[in-house]
Structure 1
């Protein structure tokens, strides 16, 4: 049987040969950790430990999925986001580091983090619950509601709330349809914002993610237009709307915010320096 070190080296070479060159070392380590049910420090502590035949078989099955392009998060069934361990499936988007820009933006808002009175937040299109749960972990005093039109996604989100011991209310809704007349101090969303004919939809991890959570019309702005328009009546005075979007959509979204009447408009950049999150405040 091959050792942990030999297994990692061989699998890294296979990943590179398959063109998966972004993070072959980490990919191999995460897959082996999943197989052995250990953390990464175990791999470094016991590099000479040999895998059993059963472990080798299970690892090779997972490696073949990765070599075929399946996302690591789907293979191992989880992804870390904002320090939380979240379950994911092909019914949800895989939480990405750039979305942490949205969390940081909300935490920097006046009247949210240090607000002593009731503070309410609505997360539109919650998916795995990543945004809502990250915010709740930082803002325990806030009453957070997270909605999604997908019942399958909501089941994943509820499981993540339980496993991370965070109290978030989840409900099924097509954007604001089930909200009634309720208003919030802050509305956040990472909505679909990719153009329907974007060639990147046929590349990488997005090939295995729900298309309904990715695309939104010819220019990718159909859902964002609806959210900006309808959010106005669901925000209290001085309430904030915070939206994640594509790197090339900042100017269009700034104009939509302006047309609707949002003030104190702000643009935040992601880890790569790209425009990623836009904020606006209702007077």
Structure 2
């Protein structure tokens, strides 16, 4: 087959499988499995590929038709311009989450305190949030924490691959976290349990339920983290969450009830509520 025929076949099969972004994914598969980018494609679309090359690509295509996420098939995902390894043990990094990193980096760079900035990335998963912060703010001390040992294995590999010196802690939220921090960042599970079955197959059937399920109303982990964060934040420290687009008002109430000040919601590029943040006025003793 020619590469033009291959591309058309991929697009047709992906579209039939219900994959909305079938055109982009066809290009991605061509480049990944055949090493053919768009420029090379248009220079010679009638170039014939070997049968074994098609067989290799077709095997991956069959998995994608079963709605296995493309990022899991490729084993990587781009986030903040960095390539992160991903597999079924971690949530696939989303572009929306970059808003959390960008805001954290902005706040860290505005700091006037002389002591080293300490950052905790809670529910770290692949480590994309904390590692990106470390790469963009090398002077910060960054700790990654997660309940899943498998997720921390992925995060450890990503930190090594990207040259980020971070500390990793395994435990249920703050269970094994030590010391206090200037910034606590978290993208916790926040999807209500009853909504998960309505999600697209890639998410519902393949991404870890542990990283998705926020229990009954989706706010369980926000409540726990906010209640416990006050013992781990320095005076004037900030708590920053990624949130679902309809959770902003609830998060503001939760944070205010715990005594956080300067609470606010930041929107993403689509104009949807995406980040909840608040400042802790004074450290509590356990």
TM range, smaller chain: over 0.9
2:190 is aligned to 193
- For residue 58 of structure 2, give the secondary structure of its aligned residue in structure 1: helix
Q: Distance in 2 between matches of 1:114 and 1:70?
A: 46
With structure 2 as the length reference, what TM-score do the two structures score? 0.92
In structure 2, stretches of 5+ residues that fail to align are 282-286
Q: Sort the Cα spacing of 1:12 and 1:107 in 2 relative to 1 into closer, same or farther, 3 A.
A: same
Q: Sort the Cα spacing of 1:123 and 1:43 in 2 relative to 1 into closer, same or farther, 3 A.
A: farther
Count of residue pairs the alignment pairs up:
280
2:233 is aligned to 235
Q: Sort the Cα spacing of 1:122 and 1:29 in 2 relative to 1 into closer, same or farther, 3 A.
A: same
Q: Distance in 2 between matches of 1:59 and 1:133?
A: 32
In terms of mean alpha carbon deviation, does 43-52 or 262-271 score higher? 43-52
- For residue 230 of structure 2, give the secondary structure of its aligned residue in structure 1: helix
Q: Are the equivalent residues in 1 in contact too, given 2:148–2:170 (CA < 8 A)?
A: yes
The Cα RMSD (Å) is 1.8
Note the alpha carbon deviations across 1:159-208, whole angstroms, 9 max, x for none.
1111111112112121100014x100000000000000005554232121
Q: Are the equivalent residues in 2 in contact too, given 1:92–1:210 (CA < 8 A)?
A: yes
Q: Are the equivalent residues in 1 in contact too, given 2:76–2:85 (CA < 8 A)?
A: yes
In terms of mean alpha carbon deviation, does 217-226 or 104-113 score higher? 104-113
2:284 is aligned to none
- For residue 198 of structure 1, give the secondary structure of its aligned residue in structure 2: helix
Residue 32 of structure 1 and its aligned partner are, at CA, apart by: 2.2
- For residue 189 of structure 2, give the secondary structure of its aligned residue in structure 1: coil
Q: Distance in 2 between matches of 1:110 and 1:120?
A: 10
Residue 45 of structure 1 and its aligned partner are, at CA, apart by: 4.8
1:220 is aligned to 218
Which residue among 77, 88, 92 is the counterpart of 1:90? 88
With structure 1 as the length reference, what TM-score do the two structures score? 0.93
Do residues 274 (structure 1) and 272 (structure 2) align?
yes
Note the alpha carbon deviations across 1:24-62, whole angstroms, 9 max, x for none.
111112122221356555445553432222210111111
In structure 1, stretches of 5+ residues that fail to align are none
Q: Are the equivalent residues in 1 in contact too, given 2:7–2:27 (CA < 8 A)?
A: yes
Which residue among 244, 247, 259 is the counterpart of 2:245? 247
